[in-house]
């Protein structure tokens, strides 16, 4: 089906000023471009986890699967293995995928399954009214940590590089054009793509002023140098006051999980034929 409205008429309950709107409209623009290029949106599947971000499944008018908490990535992996012709996009949250579903994320990167994971990283559990997540800064005061969290945050970019992600980028919801380029690049990339998006939570952790004075764009050019990607990923550790790089950190070509699984399967003898042969030999 083409030419359909891409935003559904479901009642939108995101707070005014929420960065989720930027990601929604960025995805809408990307989907429109795909249609203009003659690609059928019937071949696109959106998978979401649980959290404010997950309402994307209700608000975008494409095939979608509302998974359980932290489980969007394994669902997306299953969908891609079942039909590798599909474009599979995951919208996940930082609490959702860097906590509950972290092992799935690491293994998806390790396998290089060809899916695109967009992390709505607002660094707080917004849907449950403001608890700290793995990327909240040290001392973050929320519902579960009224005197401040004593934990240092996780650096998800460093973790994704170590896990084997073949496309890694960081975007920001106040920079929509760049975000569109980064997500489109991730969708076009053949392999596991992770785009960590600094998403403003207008209600429980609005740090737009902090980001606005620190973000800068990475230069374009060759992105296949793993060590310089690691160095850039470490420049800001999600806790310090240093500058924050935005853009594509790393990209390389590598065989995908689904291609390897399918070619291995082709080498496996047909199980039923092998059983029939065995039974015949017993007669």
4 sits in the region (left: phi over 0; alpha: psi -120 to 50; else beta) called beta
Q: Do the beta carbons of residue 233 and residue 155 sit within 8 Å?
A: yes
Mask 17-46, x = binds ligand SF4 (CB under 6 A)? -x-x--------------------------
Q: Which of 86, 106, 176, 202 binds ligand SF4 (CB under 6 A)?
A: 202
Binding part of the chain for ligand SF4, among 111-119, 160-168, 197-205, 227-235 by CB under 6 A, reads 197-205
- Considering only 57, 159, 201, 246, the residue that binds ligand SF4 (CB under 6 A) is 201
Q: Which two tokens stand for residue 101?
A: 């579903």
**Interface with ligand SF4 (CB under 6 A), residue from 204, 236, 238, 250:** 204
Judged by CB under 6 A, does residue 15 bind ligand SF4?
yes
- Quote the least distance from Cβ 199 to ligand SF4, whole Å: 7
User: Minimum distance from CB of 143 to ligand SF4 (Å)?
Assistant: 12
Site for ligand SF4, residues 126 to 155, rule: CB under 6 A: 126-127
Asked if residue 248 lies in contact with residue 223, where contact means CB atoms within 8 angstroms, the answer is yes
| Window contacting ligand SF4 (CB under 6 A); options: 99-107, 150-158, 168-176, 202-210 | 202-210
Compute how many residues bind ligand SF4; rule: CB under 6 A: 12
Cα(22)–Cα(175) distance, rounded to whole angstroms?
9
Taking the complex as a whole, the smallest distance from the CB of residue 206 to ligand SF4 amounts, in Å, to: 8
C-beta of 205 vs 257, nearer to ligand SF4: 205
- Contact segment (CB under 6 A) with ligand SF4 among 69-77, 121-129, 179-187, 247-255 equals 121-129
Q: Are strands 167-172 and 244-251 parallel, antiparallel or unpaired?
A: antiparallel
Can you list the pairs that 136-140 forms with residues at least 24 positions away whose Cβ atoms lie under 8 Å? 136/205, 137/238, 137/239, 138/239, 140/205
Contact call for residue 60 and ligand SF4 (CB under 6 A): no
Instruction: At 152, give phi and psi (nearest 5°).
Output: -80, 150
Q: Does 14 bind ligand SF4 (CB under 6 A)?
A: yes
Cross-strand pairs, 117: 90, 194
Task: Note whether 12 binds ligand SF4 by CB under 6 A.
Answer: no
* C-alpha dihedral sign at 200, 217, 94, 83: positive
**205 in Cβ contact with 130 (< 8 Å):** yes
Residue 120 or 232 having the CB closest to ligand SF4: 120
**From 13-21, 24-32, 209-217, 254-262, span contacting ligand SF4 (CB under 6 A):** 13-21
47, β-bridge pairs: 65, 90
Shortest distance, position 8 Cβ to ligand SF4, whole Å? 17
CA distance 278 to 226: 51
Own/partner pairs, 137-142, CB within 8 angstroms, 24+ separation: 137/238, 137/239, 138/239, 140/205, 142/204
Positions in the binding site for ligand SF4 (CB under 6 A): 14-15, 18, 20, 52, 122, 126-127, 201-204
């Amino acid at each position: 089906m083409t030419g359909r409205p891409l935003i559904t008429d479901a009642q939108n309950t995101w707070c005014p000023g929420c960065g989720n709107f930027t990601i929604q409209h960025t995805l809408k623009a990307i989907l429109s471009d795909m249609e203009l290029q003659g690609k059928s949106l019937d071949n696109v599947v959106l998978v979401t986890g649980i959290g404010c971000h997950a309402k994307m499944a209700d608000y975008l008018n494409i095939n979608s699967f509302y998974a359980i908490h932290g489980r969007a990535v394994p669902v997306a992996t299953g969908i891609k293995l079942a039909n590798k012709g599909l474009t599979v996009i995951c919208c996940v949250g930082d609490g959702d995928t860097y906590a509950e579903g972290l092992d799935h994320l690491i293994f998806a990167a390790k396998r290089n399954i060809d899916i695109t994971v967009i992390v709505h990283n607002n660094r707080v559990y917004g849907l449950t009214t403001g608890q700290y997540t793995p990327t909240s800064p040290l001392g973050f005061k929320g519902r579960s940590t009224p005197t401040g969290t004593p934990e240092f945050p996780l650096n998800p970019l460093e973790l994704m590089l170590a896990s084997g992600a073949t496309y890694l980028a960081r975007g920001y919801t106040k920079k929509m054009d760049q975000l569109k380029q980064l997500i489109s690049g991730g969708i076009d990339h053949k392999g596991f793509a992770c785009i960590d998006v600094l998403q403003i939570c207008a209600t429980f952790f609005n740090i737009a002023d902090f980001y606005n004075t620190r973000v800068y764009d990475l230069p374009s050019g060759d992105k296949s140098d793993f060590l310089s990607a690691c160095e850039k990923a470490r420049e800001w550790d999600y806790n310090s006051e240093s500058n924050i790089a935005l853009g594509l950190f790393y990209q390389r070509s590598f065989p995908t999980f689904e291609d390897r699984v399918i070619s291995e399967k082709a080498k496996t003898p047909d199980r039923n034929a092998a059983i029939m042969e065995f039974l015949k030999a017993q007669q």
